[in-house]
Amino acid sequence: MFTNEEAAPDGAMPSAANSLRRRRDRLAALQTMINAQERDERQRAVRALLSQPLLSPAGPTSEAFTLAQKHRDWLRPWFAHHAGWQLMLDSEAARLIKRPAKLDDATRPCREPNSGVALSRRAYVILSLALASLVRADRQTTLVRLRDSIIGLVRAEPRFEGADVRVELEHQESRRDFVHAIRLLIKWGVLKRMQGEEERFIKDADVDALYNVHRPVLARLLAANRPPSLDPGLRHACAQRYRNSANCPLVFCDFQTGRQRALANVGESRAAQSRTTGSGAWAALRLSQRTRLPRRCR
């Protein structure tokens, strides 16, 4: 009868231990690699939604849409916690209900997709009226039908005339604003051009085009102003602060409220760490060497 020491060959036990240790190290390295890849994908999804709150499964945003779908269970509570924003996700679109911290901020206008020109006041009105018309439209519509519907809405509402808002689409300048609004709707995926070209409509009001109306995306464009919580205190101020930094990477102390400035020193380190981990962007407080910090910001 052999004992355990006699039955086991010399060096067998150390070899088994080394093999187990190497296997454990390989699993740990694999887990680290998986965690790094997952963190990178989440950060890319966050940045994509911040730059373009409406993602489509087709076109240039398809990759970002796939990432948002993959990490939807993590993205929803992350945006809700840090900014009070709702993320709507299904197979048709990913929509971040992203509301600005300041409604009177005119530094980031909506721009025409082809030229990058900022939309005029009239183009904004036409865009809103086009959305209102498409809600009642069929699955397909035409450029001329949409034009007539917008003109009818303006004439039926006397407050447009009282506010000196004229949308007759009789001149090239007004028709150009109309085309800019249509191109935005195409870019967002609300309309899909099936036949024709809207560019010629600027010079010729009788030119027509055929579009399919994508109702699932149309229904998600409205960003209703809902408070992030029932308590408009610290939680709301934290969300407002992050909305400022998410929309505008450079925020001056002079343009922050006293409560928002105070939040920079109250629990900000933990929140900043969480936001950096989620988005891949980090916050830094910098003082200009040429100017003196205002007394109210010290």
Q: Could you read off the pLDDT tens digit of each residue along the chain, which spans 298 residues?
A: 444 444 445 544 557 778 777 777 777 776 777 788 888 999 999 999 998 888 988 888 899 999 999 999 999 998 988 888 899 998 888 999 887 777 777 777 888 888 888 888 889 999 999 998 998 888 999 999 999 999 888 888 888 878 777 788 888 888 999 999 999 999 888 999 999 888 888 888 888 999 999 888 888 887 655 444 444 444 455 555 555 555 555 555 554 555 555 444 444 444 555 555 555 655 544 444 443 434 333 3
Under a CB-based contact definition with an 8 Å cutoff, are residues 148 and 135 in contact? Answer: no
| Token digits of residue 35 | 């965690």
Domain boundary among the residues 97, 113, 136 is at 97
pLDDT for the residue numbered 143: 92
Asked whether residue 7 is assigned to any structural domain, the reply reads no
Count the domains in the chain.
Answer: 3
Task: Give the span between the Cα atoms of 210 and 82, in whole angstroms.
Answer: 42
| Same domain, yes or no: 211 and 275 | no
| Same domain, yes or no: 212 and 136 | yes
pLDDT for the residue numbered 266: 43
The CATH code of the domain that includes 199 is 1.10.10
| Same domain, yes or no: 278 and 203 | no
Asked whether residue 116 is assigned to any structural domain, the reply reads no
Asked whether residue 157 is assigned to any structural domain, the reply reads yes
| Cβ neighbours for 30, distance < 8 A, ≥ 6 positions apart | none
Asked whether residue 113 is assigned to any structural domain, the reply reads no
Residue 262, CA distances (Å) to 4, 229, 241, 271 in order: 69, 20, 11, 14
pLDDT for the residue numbered 255: 47
Domain boundary among the residues 218, 246, 263 is at 218
pLDDT for the residue numbered 106: 76
| Cβ neighbours for 211, distance < 8 A, ≥ 6 positions apart | 140, 141, 142, 143, 186, 191, 192, 193, 194
| Same domain, yes or no: 240 and 205 | no
| Same domain, yes or no: 190 and 139 | yes
Q: What are the φ and ψ backbone dihedral angles of 18, each rounded to 5 degrees? A: -65, -40
| Same domain, yes or no: 204 and 256 | no
pLDDT for the residue numbered 64: 92
Report pLDDT digits (tens) over 157-166. 888 878 777 7
| Same domain, yes or no: 157 and 214 | yes
Residue 293, CA distances (Å) to 198, 245, 252, 254, 290 in order: 52, 20, 10, 10, 10
pLDDT for the residue numbered 63: 92
Asked whether residue 264 is assigned to any structural domain, the reply reads yes
| Same domain, yes or no: 205 and 238 | no
pLDDT for the residue numbered 217: 87
Asked whether residue 102 is assigned to any structural domain, the reply reads no
Asked whether residue 35 is assigned to any structural domain, the reply reads yes
User: Model-level pTM greater than 0.75?
Assistant: no
Q: What are the φ and ψ backbone dihedral angles of 238, each rounded to 5 degrees? A: -60, -45
| Owning domain of residue 273 | 234-297
Under a CB-based contact definition with an 8 Å cutoff, are residues 112 and 164 in contact? Answer: no
pLDDT for the residue numbered 101: 72
| Same domain, yes or no: 90 and 143 | no
H helices, E strands: number in the chain: 12, 6
Asked whether residue 229 is assigned to any structural domain, the reply reads no
Q: What are the φ and ψ backbone dihedral angles of 127, each rounded to 5 degrees? A: -60, -45
